[in-house]
Amino acid sequence: MHFTIDTNTFINGVQQANKAVSSRTTIPILTGIKIRATATGITLIGSDSDISIETFIPSSDEEHEYITIHEEGEMVLQAKYFAEIVRKMPGDALTLKKEGQMAASIASDNVVFNLNGYDPDNYPRLPQLQEEQVFQLPQYLLKDIISQTVFAVSSQETRPVLTGVNFTITDKELTATATDSHRLAMRTISVEAEEALDIKNVIIPGKSLVELNRILDDREDMVTIVVTSTQVLFKIDHLLFFSRLLDGKFPLTSHMIPTEGKTTVTLSTKALNRSLERAMLLSREVKNNVVHVKSVGTDQLEISSISAEVGKVKETIEATDLNGEELEIAFNGKNISDALKVIDSETISVLFTGAMSPFVIRPMNEKQMIHLFSPVRTS
C-alpha cells in the first residue's frame, strides 16, 4: 500500500472513522483503524464491535484530485497515534506507505513517522446487510428525532432494552420511543418508504444514536436507513454507520399515554425551565431533584423545593388556560427540564391526571411529540 493524499481531506476521513473506535475495547485490533487503498480511493474503517463506521474518500471529484494511489493494499494502524499524527502533519499533502510486514511510514515535508500496525487480515468484516427493509429521512430530521428521544433512555443495565430507542414504522409513519420507566419521550414523523413497509421493535442503543448524532448535520440531504433483525445501517454521503440492535422486546407504550386528565394548563417553556433550574439548586443533591408544584388561583402555579440543610425556594409563574381540579404534585425536576430543552415551541400544554398518576407535556399545537412523566411520592 502506498498513496499520497491531501492532508486536510485525510484528517477529516480519519476523524470520522475514529469516532467508532473506543479505547476501552477488549479486542486489541479494534484499537486500530483499517485503511484500504484501491484504484478509486481510500476506505477507512473504525469499530468498537457495537458500532462501525466506514468512510470512503474518492481519489477525485469534478473539481479536485485528492489522492494519488501508487500501490493498492490494506493496513491497520493504531487509531490513537495515527489520528493525532495525521492531524499534526505540517504539509498540504502526506504520503502513507507500507514498510515491512505491518508497519507504515507517514511522511509530510521534513517529517517522517514510522508506526507499527496490526495484520489487516485479522480485522473483523463489516456486516453485509440484506437491503429489504429500507427507508429515507432528511439528515436534519433524523438528528431531531434522535435528540428529542435519546435523553430519556435508561442509564441502567437492569432492563437492557430500555437503554435503546425503539423505532417502528406503520403506514409510512415512523415512531421513536425512549423510556427509563419514570419518563417517556415519543416522536412521530412521516417517512419516504414503500407503502407496505412495516417495522417493529427495532431498538437502537442510545450510545450508538448519540455517536450518530455527532456525525449528522442540519442538512436536507437524505439518509438511507437499512434495517435487519440484528443490525441497522445509516448511509450518509460517503459514510456508512452500522449499529447492532438490542435484543428483547420493547414495552408497549402507546396505551400508557393518557388522553383525558383532571387539570390542564398552558405554560411558557422558558419560564418553567428557569424556575425548575432554581428549584433544583436546592434539591439536586439530597432530594433527587424533587420539585413541588401547586396551582394558585386560576392563573398561577407555585413552584417550590426544600432542603432541610440548605434552605428552600418558592416562586410563582404565570399559567394560562388553567382548567380543572386544583393541582398539587411533586416530580423529578431534571426529567422535566431535559424534555423542555428539546422542545422548540415557546409554550407547552400540560395534562395532569392526578397527584399520583402520570402527566403529559406537549409542545403547543404539536401532535408529533409527547413527553410522559411519573410523579414522585412525597410525604
89 or 178: CB nearest a second copy: 89
The whole-angstrom separation of Cα 359 and Cα 353 is 6
The whole-angstrom separation of Cα 243 and Cα 230 is 9
Least distance in Å: CB of 349 to a second copy?
22
The whole-angstrom separation of Cα 305 and Cα 324 is 24
Q: Which three cell numbers stand for residue 47?
A: 469499530
159 or 270: CB nearest a second copy: 270
Let me know: does 334 contact 322? Beta carbons within 8 Å: no
The whole-angstrom separation of Cα 263 and Cα 372 is 15
- Give the neighbor-by-neighbor strand order of the sheet with 183-190: 199-205, 164-170, 173-179, 183-190, 369-373, 359-363, 347-352, 263-268, 320-324
- Element of type H or E holding 372: strand 369-373
Least distance in Å: CB of 29 to a second copy?
15
The b/e string for 31-48 (b: 16+ C-beta within 10 A; e otherwise) is bbbbbbbeeebbbbbbbb
**Taking CB under 8 A as the rule, does residue 101 contact a second copy?**
no
127 or 311: CB nearest a second copy: 311
Q: Which stretch binds a second copy (CB under 8 A): 9-17, 83-91, 158-166, 360-368?
A: 83-91
| DSSP states of 189-227 | EE-EE-TT--EEEEEEEHHHHHHHHHH--S--PEEEEEE
207 or 274: CB nearest a second copy: 274
Within positions 59 to 78, which residues make up the interface with a second copy, using CB under 8 A? 78
Least distance in Å: CB of 116 to a second copy?
5
Least distance in Å: CB of 118 to a second copy?
12
202 or 313: CB nearest a second copy: 313
Q: Which stretch binds a second copy (CB under 8 A): 103-111, 204-212, 322-330, 364-372?
A: 103-111
Q: How many CB atoms are located within 10 Å of the residue 161 CB?
A: 17
**Taking CB under 8 A as the rule, does residue 114 contact a second copy?**
yes
Least distance in Å: CB of 278 to a second copy?
5
How many residues at the interface with a second copy, by CB under 8 A? 29
28 or 124: CB nearest a second copy: 28
Q: Which of 116, 229, 357, 378 binds a second copy (CB under 8 A)?
A: 116
| Encoded amino acid at 244, one letter | R
Q: Which of 278, 324, 368, 374 binds a second copy (CB under 8 A)?
A: 278
Maximum Cα interatomic distance, the chain, rounded to a whole number of Å: 81
133 or 337: CB nearest a second copy: 337
Q: Which of 85, 232, 327, 342 binds a second copy (CB under 8 A)?
A: 85
Least distance in Å: CB of 16 to a second copy?
20
Within positions 297 to 336, which residues make up the interface with a second copy, using CB under 8 A? 309-317
The whole-angstrom separation of Cα 49 and Cα 21 is 9
**Taking CB under 8 A as the rule, does residue 173 contact a second copy?**
no
Quick one: DSSP state of residue 374?
A: -
Binding site for a second copy (CB under 8 A): 78, 81, 84-85, 88, 90, 103, 110-116, 274-275, 277-278, 281-282, 309-317
